[in-house]
């Protein structure tokens, strides 16, 4: 984690140089690379992004959740939903399928280890199912509910605390798979592909954890503020 507090006048390239993991944040706001020496403010305006929301997430992820107090007050929920939906698409349509493909290559590269194929795929596919169920619920239930709040409509049968209670950690299956790969997979000698898969799994797990922290510490508190405002006007 970096100790930098990024501002609207920082060059976007400077932010990436300080913390390359923030490339994921940029892509989830639909910002294309090739931004030259333009500032954060310039790029956000050009892409129709709320600058405060962008910087809140960037600084939140770069600094760590211990500096999250009241940061939700700076976010625009429409921008956060855009970010979260794009993150869901990244995990479900790109990153997790890519890891699954590499797992298959690890097994296929050694015929004697073929029996592990069923084990790997069972654990991974169970994990993918859990993640998809988790994110489909957010896409289909939570985000439409919050969008209605923007328009002053409050579903009396639902509130964001329901989501908060359901927001379980979804990493148990991935932990089991990592343990099998690390402790029991009979790899011989150097195995660059297996090492690469493990790096990808660790990175994905960390990314998902950060994603959940954005939801828990920025998104949920910001939604509660809107709910309270609507309740007070009824």
- pLDDT at position 66 is 45
The pLDDT value recorded for residue 181 is 83
Residue pointed to by tokens 């949920």: 220
Domain ranges within the chain, ordered by starting residue: 12-67, 76-233
Phi, psi values for residue 11, rounded to 5°: -70, 140
pLDDT in tens, the chain (234 residues): 445 589 999 999 999 999 999 999 999 999 999 999 999 999 999 999 999 999 999 999 987 654 555 567 778 999 999 999 999 999 999 999 999 998 888 877 566 666 777 888 888 998 999 999 999 999 999 999 999 998 888 888 899 999 988 777 677 777 888 888 888 777 766 678 888 999 999 999 889 988 998 999 999 999 999 998 887 776
Query: Both tokens of residue 197?
Result: 């898969």
pLDDT of residue 179: 84
Tell me whether residue 165 is exposed, middle or buried, using C-beta atoms within 10 angstroms of its C-beta: 0 to 12, 13 to 18, 19 or more. Answer: exposed
Length of the chain: 234
| Alpha helices (H) in the chain, listed in sequence order | 12-18, 23-28, 40-46, 51-63, 77-90, 96-108, 116-137, 143-150, 160-166, 172-179, 192-214, 220-233
């Amino acid at each position: 984690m970096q100790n930098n507090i990024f501002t609207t006048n920082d060059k976007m390239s400077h932010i990436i140089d300080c913390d390359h993991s923030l490339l994921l944040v940029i892509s989830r706001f639909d910002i294309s690379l090739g931004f030259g020496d333009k500032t954060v403010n310039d790029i956000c305006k050009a892409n129709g992004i709320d600058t405060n929301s962008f910087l809140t997430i960037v600084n939140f992820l770069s600094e760590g959740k211990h500096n999250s107090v009241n940061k939700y007050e700076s976010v625009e929920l429409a921008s956060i939903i855009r970010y979260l939906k794009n993150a869901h698409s990244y995990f479900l349509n790109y990153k997790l399928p890519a890891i699954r493909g590499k797992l298959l290559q690890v097994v296929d590269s050694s015929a004697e280890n073929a029996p592990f194929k069923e084990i790997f795929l069972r654990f991974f596919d169970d994990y993918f199912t859990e993640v998809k169920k988790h994110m489909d619920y957010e896409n289909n239930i939570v985000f439409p509910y919050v969008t209605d709040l923007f328009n002053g409509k409050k579903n009396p049968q639902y509130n964001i605390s329901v989501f908060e209670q359901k927001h379980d950690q979804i990493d148990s299956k991935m932990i089991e798979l990592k343990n099998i790969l690390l402790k029991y997979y009979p790899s011989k000698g150097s195995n660059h592909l297996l090492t690469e898969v493990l790096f990808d799994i660790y990175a994905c797990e960390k990314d998902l954890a950060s994603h959940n922290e954005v939801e828990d510490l920025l998104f949920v508190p910001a939604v509660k503020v809107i709910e309270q405002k609507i309740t007070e006007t009824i």
